[in-house]
Structure 1
Amino acid sequence: MIRWTVNCSILYTDLPLLERPAAAAADGFAAVEFWWPWPVAIPADRDVDAFVRAVESAGVRLTGLNFFAGDMPGGDRGLVSWPGRSRELLDNIPVVAAIGQRLGCRAFNALYGNRVDGVEATEQDELALEMLAACARGVDGTVLLEPVSGAPRYPLLTAADAVAVLDRLGDVPNVGLLADLYHLATNGDDVPAAIDRHAARVAHVQIADAPGRGAPGTGELPIRPWIDRLYAAGYDGYIGLEYRSEGPGAFDWLPREERAGGSL
């Protein structure tokens, strides 16, 4: 049985953020994930408490949370490789870890970051290794590294790009690939080949259809066969629903009796 989790940062955007876990529960889901919910690395304690209460009150499990990634609406895509902003990320790690402990979340997405003008790529990449290791030391769970599309200065485009970074981390045990099938396909990666080659490194999966980043069935991607291929290759985690859908009917493609899935 496929385990689904709803990304409440890209779905239910017509609702205030703290109402979205309950909306996911009302739609029959048992698990949710979020990008970093605040525009700053260190939110006020009362805001963290309110977020935790919203998830707990909804009766859903938090299965994924991003580290602070900068101004995402403004085009930022992470601080991991961004010289000059390492302090923000380091200060964010204990906050992420505390939320993870309170809600039982064990998957944390560390967006790599865009290339920065005036800085050598090799310098950014060396910094990224330091910061990813710091993230891994700081949380009780797995740090995820994700190839991303639609961000021209983001250097990780394929599964192989991300795995190459993971390989350079050497003996850091709790890191893995976030395989967003939409991003990989949009970037031209050979998704079946990537699954076959890197399934053992996949620690989380997200989906959307393409073109358009809509719900499965709105585009041309063979999403369900790819998911089946992942599970056949040994993946046993959640599948994150990270697509755009406005108004009612966002989950009409998925029968209600299948939405809660299993539990981990």
Structure 2
Amino acid sequence: MSGPVSDPVGDARAGGARTGYSVNCSILFTELPLLQRPAAARAAGFDTVEFWWPFAEPVPPEADVRAFEAAIRDSGVQLGALNFDAGTMDAGERGLLSLPHRGADFRANVQVVAGIGERLGCLLFNALYGNRSPEYSPAEQDAEALRNLREAAAAVAPFGGTVLLEPLSGAPDYPLKTAADVFAVLADLHGAGTDNAALLADLYHLAVNGDDVAALLAGGAAARFGHVQIADAPGRGAPGTGQLPLTQWISDLRAGGYRGEVSLEYRAPLRNAFAWLEDPGAGVG
């Protein structure tokens, strides 16, 4: 006779919505097929989900787009944020928009992303900048990035969308590593007349890259964040598995004027992925 069947979604459920938090279904719920993850997130108590680009190409088949949208709608969750296509992540790519030979792919992807966003009411769109390439000078890449970011921002502006820029760790050729790096690009964008762009403050990436997160928050940067993601370090696990004072930082975010959701973008098995939310002060930094 077989033993009891495990119910990982049931094990993760806390009963009631996770107020103030969203969950990234590209890095969590990976035990499940992608289209089942929005419903699993809802069953675990989340009202809002987000995804990295969930398709294999910049312009996927229309049927695949519709299936993704149906999975979001049918589950009863809100799509809070969506990445533009960032290329082949497993091969080391970290964005297309600063690469002149990939600019056309990015611009084609913008139209697909904007369509999904408008139909689903998603307002936040993360654009990974792209690695530095020896084929181009940094100035050439930055000019390409400015062009493509402006086009992306213009595409989502009519329905209130914002383009996000994110510093990344673990990618030596990726040029945006600190909040200051992103703020410099945003200054160029704002100077060119594009106002609907903002920093995606992934506190894990910032901390791993040596940025002083506490000083950023104390200095009033939180009110300028377009979105926030968290994971503990080292390890990129759930809060409490590393050494970052995430509970304090979340409190400082709120006190500093950040009004958005905090996205859970860490790696953890579904069975205990959200246990820290039952006692968020336990063992968290």
Residue 201 of structure 2: SS of its match in structure 1?
Answer: strand
Partner amino acid for 1:47? D
Alignment of 1:192-203 (within 5 A): 192-195=214-217, 196-203=219-226
Shift of 1:215: 0.2
Distance 2:27 2:232 in 1: 14
> Does structure 1 residue 127 correspond to structure 2 residue 147?
no
Change (3 A) 1:185 1:129: same
Shift of 1:247: 4.4
The answer to whether the 8 Å contact 2:28/2:270 transfers is: no
Specify every segment of 5 or more residues in structure 2 that has no aligned partner in the other structure, as ranges: 1-17, 280-285
> Does structure 1 residue 97 correspond to structure 2 residue 114?
yes
How big is the alpha-carbon RMSD for the aligned residues of Structure 1 and Structure 2? 1.3
Partner amino acid for 1:189? D
Distance 1:186 1:18 in 2: 31
Partner amino acid for 2:183? V
Partner amino acid for 2:256? A
Specify every segment of 5 or more residues in structure 1 that has no aligned partner in the other structure, as ranges: 257-264
Partner amino acid for 1:128? A
Distance 1:95 1:73 in 2: 22
Residue 73 of structure 1: SS of its match in structure 2?
Answer: helix
User: Which deviates the most, 103-112 or 191-200?
Assistant: 191-200
Aligned identity (percent) is 58
The answer to whether the 8 Å contact 1:2/1:239 transfers is: no
Runs (4+) off by over 3 Å: none
Q: What corresponds to 1:41 in structure 2?
A: 58
**Greater share of helix residues, 1 or 2?**
2
Alignment size in residue pairs: 256
Distance 1:214 1:245 in 2: 6
Q: What corresponds to 1:148 in structure 2?
A: 168
Distance 2:201 2:246 in 1: 12
The answer to whether the 8 Å contact 1:136/1:172 transfers is: yes
Q: What corresponds to 1:237 in structure 2?
A: 260
Residue 79 of structure 2: SS of its match in structure 1?
Answer: strand
Cα offsets for 1:45-98 (capped at 9, x unmatched): 110110011011110010000001100111110011111000001101111011
Alignment of 1:96-245 (within 5 A): 96-139=113-156, 140=159, 141-169=161-189, 170=191, 171-195=193-217, 196-245=219-268
Shift of 1:103: 1.0
The answer to whether the 8 Å contact 1:159/1:198 transfers is: no
Q: What corresponds to 1:262 in structure 2?
A: none
Distance 1:150 1:41 in 2: 24
Per the normalisation by structure 2, the TM-score is 0.88
User: Greater Rg, structure 1 or structure 2?
Assistant: 2
